[in-house]
Amino acid sequence: MRRDSDLGGLADPGRFSEPLEIAGNDAGTLLEYLRSMQLIRCAEELIGEMVTEGVAKTPCHLGIGQEAVAVGVASGLNATDRVFGNHRSHSQFLALGGDVYSLIAEVLGKADGASNGMGGSMHLYGASVGFQGSVPLVGATIPIAVGAALAAKMGGGQEVAVAFFGDGACEEGVFHESLNLASVYELPILFVVENNLFSSHLDIQLRQPSDSVARFAEAHRIQSRIVDGNDVVRVSAAAGELISRARAGGGPGFLEAVTYRLRGHVGPNEDIDVGVHRKMQDVNAWKQRCPIKRLHAAMAGAGLITPDEFDEQSRGVMSEVRSAVDRARAAPYPDKSTLLDLVYSTRARA
Ligand SMILES: Cc1ncc(C[n+]2csc(CCOP(=O)(O)OP(=O)(O)O)c2C)c(N)n1
Ligand SMILES: [Mg+2]
């Protein structure tokens, strides 16, 4: 059963493939967005190759195609903010400034990894850049982010919390409880839903009475915006507005960023969970909406980047990621004797 979309054309694979509207944006900022999205794309492509090769043994949920959401939201954040992710969080970790070597080392289970090699792809941690952690239990970090926002408010500072999650997480009860509490307590938090229209292989059209989840924010009297999640400029503007409001004491915000993953639910293959409603034809149409391609086309059209400059930037990113991969592959695993060292909080035991 297919219903009409409530996303104003954003869920239509055949639309929104034109270059971004970038007039009025600072050239240096756009270049940073482009570089950050290229870095995420390149890191995930190489991680995907290592999964195929069998070197990366942790399940890897790649966000290839969804890079603009993390990069746009991160543009409004500081290292003292408190960001939480989910099973698909490589992009958020890197967009906040997390070190690509520590990400790849973590994916390979090495001692130098972001979580000392104990977590893998779905348990990332980067406190120095504000990334307070990701876990794979769908919806689980949403209430933790609300707690972090409550702590920020009680502390009297200017920090905000951010919860990144998917459209599938909106089907968990704890999501609704979290929105309610954040609204009643007017907490400084931004809820960011990466609505990629699927929860593993299942189309949102088969799971919910509407394909838009911003209605849940409305139900809890939380300010919301729905944006093209493949347009980094629009994501940045909407997130920036909601973050500033939350920072100034205006309460929570909710950003629904409509996007699409170009790979399967888990692993690097494109067609792994094609079925039900997900068709290769749609995957191919969404490639035309690639967030990197659309920003690059706009910048090239406006004379903000030459072909040579773009090639040089792309080569620079590739060599940075390749050297991180080489180092991570050669790095040692944690020693067996340390296996339980990080399981319990030493502070709690003291
Ligand atoms: C509580 C719980 N239920 C089920 C799963 C299995 N699972 C892992 S990811 C996923 C889909 C989540 O979809 P969504 O929230 O839309 O995120 P996306 O994968 O699309 O980024 C499911 C059902 C899980 N990890 N945790
Ligand atoms: Mg989803």
Protein residue whose Cα sits closest to atom 3 of ligand 1: 138
Complete domains list, the chain, with CATH: 27-324 (3.40.50.970)
Confidence of residue 273 (pLDDT cuts 50, 70, 90): low
Q: Ligand 2 center to residue 207 CA distance, Å? A: 11
Protein residue whose Cα sits closest to atom 6 of ligand 1: 138
Helix (H) or strand (E) holding 165: strand 161-166
Using a pLDDT cut of 90, give the percent of the chain over it: 91
Inform me whether the pLDDT recorded for 274 exceeds 60. Answer: no
Q: Ligand 1 center to residue 201 CA distance, Å? A: 10
Protein residue whose Cα sits closest to atom 8 of ligand 1: 138
Measuring CA to CA, which residue among 192, 180, 176 is closest to residue 77? 192
What number does the ligand 1 atom closest to the CA of 87 have? 9
Q: What is the dihedral of CA 336, 339, 342, 344, to 10 degrees?
A: -150
**Residue pLDDT, tens place only, 118-130:** 999 999 999 999 9
Give the pair of three-digit tokens for residue 27.
């050239």
Which runs of consecutive H residues, i.e. helices, occur in the chain?
27-53, 67-74, 90-95, 100-107, 141-155, 173-184, 204-207, 215-219, 232-247, 280-287, 291-301, 307-330, 346-349
What number does the ligand 1 atom closest to the CA of 169 have? 15
**Residue pLDDT, tens place only, 318-328:** 999 999 999 99
Q: Ligand 2 center to residue 203 CA distance, Å? A: 9
What number does the ligand 1 atom closest to the CA of 137 have? 26
Question: Reduced to 3 states, what is the DSSP secondary structure of residue 301?
Answer: helix
Inform me whether the pLDDT recorded for 349 exceeds 80. Answer: no
What number does the ligand 1 atom closest to the CA of 138 have? 26
Full-prediction pTM beyond 0.85? yes
**Residue pLDDT, tens place only, 327-342:** 999 999 999 998 888 7
Apex 256 CA angle, 14 and 75, nearest 5: 100
Quote the CA–CA distance of 86 and 88 in Å, as a whole number. 5
The pocket around ligand 1, CB under 6 angstroms, is made up of 87-88, 136-138, 165-169, 194, 196, 198-200, 265
Mean pLDDT of the chain, nearest integer: 95
Mean pLDDT for 208-225 is 98
Measuring CA to CA, which residue among 179, 193, 171, 194 is closest to residue 149? 179
Determine phi and psi for 37, rounding to 5 degrees.
-65, -35
